[in-house]
Amino acid sequence: EPEVTQTPSHQVTQMGQEVILRCVPISNHLYFYWYRQILGQKVEFLVSFYNNEISEKSEIFDDQFSVERPDGSNFTLKIRSTKLEDSAMYFCASSQQGLQYFGPGTRLTVT
Amino acid sequence: ELKVEQNPLFLSMQEGKNYTIYCNYSTTSDRLYWYRQDPGKSLESLFVLLSNGAVKQEGRLMASLDTKARLSTLHITAAVHDLSATYFCAGDYNQGGKLIFGQGTELSVKP
């Protein structure tokens, strides 16, 4: 069964450093998303991406964040200058239209 | 803006008992989803509820949707330890749109 994959599974970085989180969505899906989950809290929407552009973004998704689909398969989330409060689990999801399938997540730890 | 609230947030059950998790949402939602999350893991889709009166069942879990009351329920029948996890409901505005998650219900099933 096709699945969403994410790399790395765990990333440790120092405050102020740039990180890139990578996702490979399910191949025939058209909609791509990033969500985050701070430990013990609910899942929060960051951004959605369709037709090679951002379709919606949340207040969390400020100028420090960017997304890209550099080729036909990868979907990346870049955080330009990480802060302590960016420490969270980041989930990528994809969908045809409707049900969103989630990847295994990348745990980002900012020290 | 759609708001989704679940209750209870924590639920400790004995094996063999029945219980219901409630999910209220504030405005019209096109669809209602239920996801399961095991500790440190990703979100696994359980149910997608599309219309008023929709009922779906899988094993010991049954989900229903009442769009007039803006309420979805996840009913657990004769709980077993394997059902221990956190359960999230989520709504969306439109196909391809962001998911708005509830806070999650942490279910613990004890022998």
Give the Cβ contact number of residue A81 at 10 Å.
12
Q: Give residue A90's pLDDT.
A: 97
User: Beta B105-110 vs B10-14: how paired, if at all?
Assistant: parallel
Q: What is the pLDDT of residues A25-68, one digit of tens each?
A: 999 899 999 999 999 889 999 999 998 999 999 999 999 999 99
Q: Give residue A13's pLDDT.
A: 98
- DSSP lists the bridge partners of residue A31 as A50, A95
Q: What is the pLDDT of residues A57-106, one digit of tens each?
A: 999 999 999 999 988 789 999 999 999 999 999 999 999 878 899 999 99
Do residue A35 and residue B90 have CB atoms under 8 angstroms apart?
Answer: no
Q: Give residue B4's pLDDT.
A: 93
Q: Cα separation of B35 and B99, whole Å?
A: 11
Residue A38 CA, chain-centre distance (Å), reads 13
Q: What is the DSSP letter of B70?
A: T
* A30 interfacial to chain B (CB closer than 8 Å): yes
* A103 interfacial to chain B (CB closer than 8 Å): yes
Q: Give residue B86's pLDDT.
A: 95
Q: How far is A102 from chain B (nearest CA, A)?
A: 6
Do residue A104 and residue B48 have CB atoms under 8 angstroms apart?
Answer: no
Q: Cα separation of B49 and B75, whole Å?
A: 14
User: For A99, which residue in chain B has the nearest alpha carbon?
Assistant: B48
Residue, of A2 and A33, whose pLDDT is higher: A33
Mean pLDDT of A6-16: 97
- DSSP lists the bridge partners of residue A67 as A77
Q: How far is B18 from chain A (nearest CA, A)?
A: 25
pLDDT band at B97 (very low <50, low <70, confident <90, very high): confident
Q: Give residue B95's pLDDT.
A: 63
pLDDT band at B31 (very low <50, low <70, confident <90, very high): confident
- Of A70, A21, A26, the residue nearest A46 (C-alpha): A21
Interface test with A, best of B94, B99, B103, B106 (most A CBs within 10 A): B99
* A26 interfacial to chain B (CB closer than 8 Å): no
Which residues of chain B have a CB within 8 Å of the CB of A32? none
Do residue A98 and residue B103 have CB atoms under 8 angstroms apart?
Answer: no
pLDDT exceeds cutoff 80 at B94: no
Please provide residue B107's backbone torsions phi and psi, each rounded to the nearest 5 degrees.
Answer: -105, 130
B contact set with A (CB within 8 A): 31, 33, 35, 41-45, 48, 88, 90, 95-104
Query: HEC states along chain A?
Result: CCCCEEECCEEEECCCCCEEEEEECCCCCCEEEEEEECCCCCEEEEEEEECCEEEEECCCCCCCEEEECCCCCCEEEEECCCCHHHCEEEEEEEECCCCCEECCCEEEEEC
Q: What is the pLDDT of residues B52-71, one digit of tens each?
A: 888 999 999 999 999 889 99
Rounded percentage of chain B residues whose pLDDT exceeds 70 = 95
Q: Give residue A1's pLDDT.
A: 78
pLDDT exceeds cutoff 70 at B96: no
On the 0-12 / 13-18 / 19+ scale of CB atoms within 10 A, A40 is exposed
Residue, of B53 and B15, whose pLDDT is higher: B15
pLDDT band at B50 (very low <50, low <70, confident <90, very high): confident
Q: What is the pLDDT of residues B69-84, one digit of tens each?
A: 999 999 999 999 999 9
For residue B101, give the nearest of A43, A55, A98 by CB distance: A43
User: For B48, which residue in chain A has the nearest alpha carbon?
Assistant: A99
Three-state secondary structure call for residue B110: strand
Do residue B88 and residue A42 have CB atoms under 8 angstroms apart?
Answer: yes
Give the Cβ contact number of residue A57 at 10 Å.
17
pLDDT band at B16 (very low <50, low <70, confident <90, very high): very high
